[in-house]
């Protein structure tokens, strides 16, 4: 399933994609049993996923029979409807640096012995099509296409062999980075957490739909391909990351983890290339869809 958060007339709601243009409203389709918040939905675990499958099957049957769906099926073509970040305000946004060999090499860094972990603040999260700000404080704004995974169950001290049981699904992400601010301090956090600098989406693909160990990851800037790799080249895979992270702290439903970016970032080009207002960044990952965001001057 492709789970989404969408807004209608400014109100955020949970849904599941019926096709590329229509969303099944999960709260309405379940008679109010499923929540309108994705965090609350994921916290309900397998019961919520089962309810979403039932709603999707019922909507498909209704569509085949020509039924209208009685307001349960929402068209993305409406002016008052838009896709939002699948997890609009995660509890934690974690990210992994230098997790592809070629990116470590282009950055002039040694391969890490342990995952390089940093945080992006939750207010950086934004959704598909939403503008990404070129901040007033810097012109060194860079792209980083990444596969993200989302936690589906509370996890602490989880071994790698069981780690996938704690994953809800996967989505595209762009770890937008303000390079000069990134290196103001060794934690990287300040340059990774500017407002709007964490686009995710367009939907959360449940883990039964894809093999996260073999997904092509591509990034385009204004239609020109700037990154291309595959998740099979991750140094630390999802299982290893969950074991490592959950040893330190509790992972909770809705937590988002950016898994790292491959080679091809702007700062490593000669001369460096940074994003400017009017640019469009497009992240494509096999089976996870397309995440596209325009760059605008910070208001």
Q: What is the pLDDT of residues 11-51, one digit of tens each?
A: 999 999 999 999 999 999 999 999 999 999 999 999 999 99
Torsion angles phi and psi, residue 16, rounded to 5: -130, 135
Cα separations (Å) of 118 from 98, 110, 135? 11, 17, 21
At 206 the pLDDT is 98
Q: Is pLDDT above 90 for 221?
A: yes
Query: Which residues have CB under 8 Å from 225's CB, separation 6+?
Result: 218, 219
For the chain, where do the domains classified as CATH 3.90.850.10 start and end? 93-297
> Quick one: residue 287, left, alpha or beta (phi over 0 = left, psi -120 to 50 = alpha)?
left
Convert the pLDDT of each residue in 128-167 to its tens digit.
999 999 999 999 999 999 999 999 999 999 999 999 999 9
Convert the pLDDT of each residue in 238-291 to its tens digit.
999 999 999 999 999 999 999 999 999 999 999 999 999 999 999 999 999 999
Average pLDDT of every residue of the chain: 96
DSSP state letter for 96: E
Handedness of CA 24, 215, 286, 5 (dihedral sign): positive
Convert the pLDDT of each residue in 54-80 to its tens digit.
999 988 888 787 665 567 899 999 999
CA angle 170, 245, 15 (to 5 degrees): 25
The share of the chain scoring above pLDDT 70, in percent, equals 98
Specify whether the CB–CB gap between 282 and 265 falls below 8 A. Answer: no
Which residue in the block uniquely carries the two structure tokens 């838009």? Answer: 82
Mean pLDDT value across residues 78-85: 95
Q: Which two tokens stand for residue 226?
A: 């700037």
Q: Count other C-beta atoms under 10 Å from residue 27's C-beta.
A: 18
Torsion angles phi and psi, residue 280, rounded to 5: -130, 125
C-alpha to C-alpha distance for 221 and 205, rounded to whole angstroms: 24
C-alpha to C-alpha distance for 103 and 60, rounded to whole angstroms: 43
Specify whether the CB–CB gap between 175 and 192 falls below 8 A. Answer: yes
Domain spanning 93-297, CATH architecture = Alpha-Beta Complex (3.90)
Question: When comparing pLDDT for 110 and 287, which is higher?
Answer: 287
- pTM for the full predicted model: 0.96
Alpha helices, DSSP H only, in the chain?
A: 26-29, 38-43, 46-65, 101-106, 179-182, 189-192, 238-248
CA nearest 146: which of 13, 261, 5?
261
Cα separations (Å) of 53 from 2, 24, 76, 183? 10, 11, 20, 45
pLDDT band at 120 (very low <50, low <70, confident <90, very high): very high
Handedness of CA 138, 146, 92, 55 (dihedral sign): positive
3-state SS, residue 294? strand
Q: Is 271 exposed, middle or buried (0-12, 13-18, 19+ CB in 10 A)?
A: exposed
Specify whether the CB–CB gap between 81 and 74 falls below 8 A. Answer: yes
């Amino acid at each position: 399933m492709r789970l989404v958060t969408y807004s209608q007339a400014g109100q955020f709601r949970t849904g599941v994609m019926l096709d590329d243009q229509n969303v099944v409203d999960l709260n309405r389709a379940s008679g109010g049993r499923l929540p309108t918040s994705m965090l609350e939905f994921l916290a309900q675990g397998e019961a919520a996923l089962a309810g979403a499958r039932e709603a999707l099957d019922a909507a498909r049957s209704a569509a085949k029979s020509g039924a209208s769906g009685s307001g349960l099926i929402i068209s993305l073509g409406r002016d008052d409807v838009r896709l939002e970040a699948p997890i609009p305000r995660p509890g934690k946004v974690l990210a992994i640096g230098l997790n592809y060999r070629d990116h470590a090499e282009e950055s002039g860094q040694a391969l890490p012995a342990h995952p390089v972990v940093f945080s992006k603040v939750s207010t950086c999260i934004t959704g598909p099509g939403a503008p990404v700000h070129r901040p007033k404080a810097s012109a060194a704004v860079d792209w980083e296409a990444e596969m993200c995974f989302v936690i589906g169950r509370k996890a602490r001290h989880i071994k790698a062999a069981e780690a996938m049981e704690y994953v809800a699904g996967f989505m595209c992400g762009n770890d937008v980075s303000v390079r000069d601010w990134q290196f103001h301090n060794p934690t990287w956090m300040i340059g990774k957490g500017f407002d709007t600098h964490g686009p995710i989406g367009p939907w959360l693909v449940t883990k039964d739909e894809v093999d996260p160990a073999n997904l092509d990851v591509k990034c385009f800037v204004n239609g020109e391909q700037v990154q291309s790799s595959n998740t099979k080249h991750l140094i630390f895979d999802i299982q290893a990351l969950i074991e490592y992270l959950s040893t330190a702290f509790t992972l909770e439903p809705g937590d988002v983890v950016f898994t790292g970016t491959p080679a091809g970032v702007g700062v490593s080009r000669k001369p460096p290339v940074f994003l400017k207002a009017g640019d469009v960044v497009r992240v494509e990952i096999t089976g996870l869809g397309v995440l596209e965001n325009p760059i605008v001057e910070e208001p």
